[in-house]
Structure 1
Amino acid sequence: MPHNDRTEQMPQTRFDVLAIGNAIVDVISPCDDAFVAAHGLDKGAMALIDAAEAEALYSAMGPGREISGGSAANTLAGLAGLGARCAFIGKVADDQLGDVFAHDIRAAGIHYAVDPLIGAVPTARCLVHVTPDGQRTMNTFLGASQDLDAGSVDKQLIKDAAIVYLEGYLWDPEAARTAMQEAIVTAREAGRKVAFTLSDVFLLQRFGQDFKAMIEDGAISILFANEGEALTLTGAADLDAAIAQLAPMLPCLVVTRGARGAVAVTGGERFEVPAEPVEKVVDTTGAGDSFAAGFLAGQIAGRPPRDCLTMGAIAAAEIISHYGARPEADLEALMARRFG
């Protein structure tokens, strides 16, 4: 994909993007609305569950597919598919699912060198229930991913990356939260960009003040949010009011609106693009993750904001057209069709 019409030259680094996040294997299974209701699940949302709940729910699920996931790791998979140089920091256990995750991320060409957890805590898994309308209801057992601590974060990797991308989902465990806070400090001291995704409304209900403080402190270079997250974070009555509140504090704000496209505000200017058309929405798992991949790929290439948004929309459309949160089509070819 040609890199013409650049607006900003990224620094020369070993990696374009280093991501820190939960290392999770998704177990994806189709179901009907009755299954969601019978098990008291909040359709379209993500909930944290313990080991016993995970075992009971897994037993009740129909046949599923095991696919490596995790929000930030999914974003890296999309970025790698677009030719970006990527590295990942996240914790798995020394077990079968841990081996699956490590194999998959390395097979995508992503640098991954975190030692697995040895002990009784298994690798994290997300049980994804997909209804006929393509909505995904996620129940996540975080397992070994919560054991990520500052000792697992290689500061040199952070310094070696142009963008450090952090997922809000990992903010819950105290040790992981501390590790991410230290990573932000290291990135800022090295003059690197910090990208942060808010991940889910339930996190904002618990840690919204933390996220606001980071934004107000100027720690975040690029903030990703969906419409619901932007409204919850700000308490605004509508999206325009939420954007008006957040945008002046951020070099770049990106808000996704599902079928209504996406908005970015950077340099005091607002840009909007529609969603890309898809023949059928099969599974929305990872749509936001993939959008972030496309947008960041545009940033790396120095493309203007509207192009970055369009690249995000194309990547998200590819993901929702099939099961699983990792791309199956040639993303570079999809981008080339649009941009030549």
Structure 2
Amino acid sequence: MSEMVSHSYPRVALIGECMIELQQHANGTLKQSFGGDTLNTAVYLSRLLGSAAQVDYVTALGDDSFSDAMCQVWTDEGIGLSRVQRLPGRLPGLYCIQTDASGERRFLYWRNEAAVRECFTTPAAEPVLAALPDYDVLYFSGITLAVLGETGRARLLSTLGDARDRGARVVFDNNYRPRLWRSVEQARQAYRAVMHEVDLALLTEEDEQALFDYSDGEQILQTYRAMGVSEVVVKRGAQSCLVSVDDRRYEVPAHTVQKVIDTTAAGDSFSAAYLARRLRGGSPKDAADAGHQLASLVIQHPGALIPRSVMPV
């Protein structure tokens, strides 16, 4: 897959969930913000591409003040809201981050009744689903698959097939979170079902090992290529990443960081920079280096979204 799209102004839709985030400080106070894997990627992708692309977010929110605030943040970041459903009486999900004395983080979630679980099951979802095949790129994650539920996943899978028939590229970030699934086998079935509709797989090695017991990155590359995924990237944290495209394979070293502050959104930002560079016509090797560059900046700042002022040029 030498090019992601064939024209200069791609339309990208990222599908997933954004939640209310509470960070608990040592004195018991809470700082409120917003977070979500595909939303983090959408923000960084919008920043990197600017006016060179249309970046839309696809989700379902409530009609509450937190949902209003989310939409305002996304608008300020240049993200389109035309595919965001607002469901009366519903609320976004919520999670709290607790940090112990040694700096280890613990996450507590309240998301079972989150509006996003009805993203593709309500009458309001029909025009959204009908519009998705007209995008040039559709992006979703393993967390997206989990929160959509069985009916939502089935409708997404059908839409991916329609989109690819019209020439769209499908991008998948594995982001496996065991607590979102009833069992490992349920997650495996869901991942395998969509993989035949994926053009670019952005895979965290640790997650793949936890889900499928793969031995290393090489086995991951071989397995996904055998399933027909034409472009595969294996992210390995501070180590080099592995890239396989068509008959070419690359190993691209990570950028050295002297002091890591917060690894939140390291993988999400890597994926955004990789995709942005590919959409601009960059090679897979250059795209991987761009991914490492942005991720190395993100982990030197607290929180998922770094200030615009420190974004790479």
Please confirm whether the aligned pair reaches a TM-score higher than 0.5, indicating the same fold: yes
Matches within 5 A, 1:133-282: 136-142=105-111, 143-150=114-121, 151-152=124-125, 154-155=128-129, 157-172=131-146, 173-202=149-178, 205=184, 206-215=186-195, 218-249=196-227, 250-282=229-261
Partner deviation per Cα, 1:166-212 (whole Å, 9 max, x = no partner)? 12112222343234223312311211011111111525823112212
Residue in 2 that maps onto 1:109: 78
- TM normalised by structure 1 equals 0.78
Q: Which amino acid is the alignment partner of residue 118 of structure 2?
A: D
Change (3 A) 1:309 1:115: same
- Secondary structure of the corresponding residue to residue 20 of structure 2: strand
Residues 194 and 222 in structure 1, CA contact (< 8 A), matched pair in contact too: yes
Change (3 A) 1:181 1:9: closer
- Secondary structure of the corresponding residue to residue 277 of structure 1: coil
* Cα distance in 2, alignment partners of residues 9 and 169 from structure 1: 23
- TM normalised by structure 2 equals 0.85
Residues 77 and 327 in structure 1, CA contact (< 8 A), matched pair in contact too: no
Aligned-pair CA distance for 1:126: 2.5
Matches within 5 A, 1:61-76: 62-76=28-42
Partner deviation per Cα, 1:68-120 (whole Å, 9 max, x = no partner)? 2211111010001102420011111111221121111111111113231211x
Residues 281 and 321 in structure 1, CA contact (< 8 A), matched pair in contact too: yes
Residues 134 and 163 in structure 2, CA contact (< 8 A), matched pair in contact too: no
Change (3 A) 1:122 1:187: same
Are positions 1:79 and 2:48 aligned together? no
Structure 2 segments unaligned to the other structure (5+ residues): none
* Cα distance in 1, alignment partners of residues 214 and 128 from structure 2: 38
Change (3 A) 1:232 1:170: same
Residues 165 and 194 in structure 1, CA contact (< 8 A), matched pair in contact too: yes
Query: How many residues of Structure 1 are paired with residues of Structure 2 in the alignment?
Result: 297
* Cα distance in 1, alignment partners of residues 43 and 286 from structure 2: 20
Aligned-pair CA distance for 1:256: 0.8
- Secondary structure of the corresponding residue to residue 140 of structure 1: strand
Q: Which amino acid is the alignment partner of residue 171 of structure 1?
A: L
* Cα distance in 2, alignment partners of residues 182 and 132 from structure 1: 47
Residues 212 and 233 in structure 1, CA contact (< 8 A), matched pair in contact too: no
Residues 261 and 273 in structure 1, CA contact (< 8 A), matched pair in contact too: yes
Residues 143 and 177 in structure 2, CA contact (< 8 A), matched pair in contact too: no
Q: Which amino acid is the alignment partner of residue 77 of structure 1?
A: V
Residue in 1 that maps onto 2:60: 91
* Cα distance in 2, alignment partners of residues 315 and 136 from structure 1: 23
Partner deviation per Cα, 1:114-140 (whole Å, 9 max, x = no partner)? 231211x42112323346776644333
Q: How many percent identity over aligned positions?
A: 24
* Cα distance in 2, alignment partners of residues 193 and 290 from structure 1: 19
Q: Which has the higher contact order (CA 8 A, sep 6+)?
A: 1
Change (3 A) 1:276 1:99: same
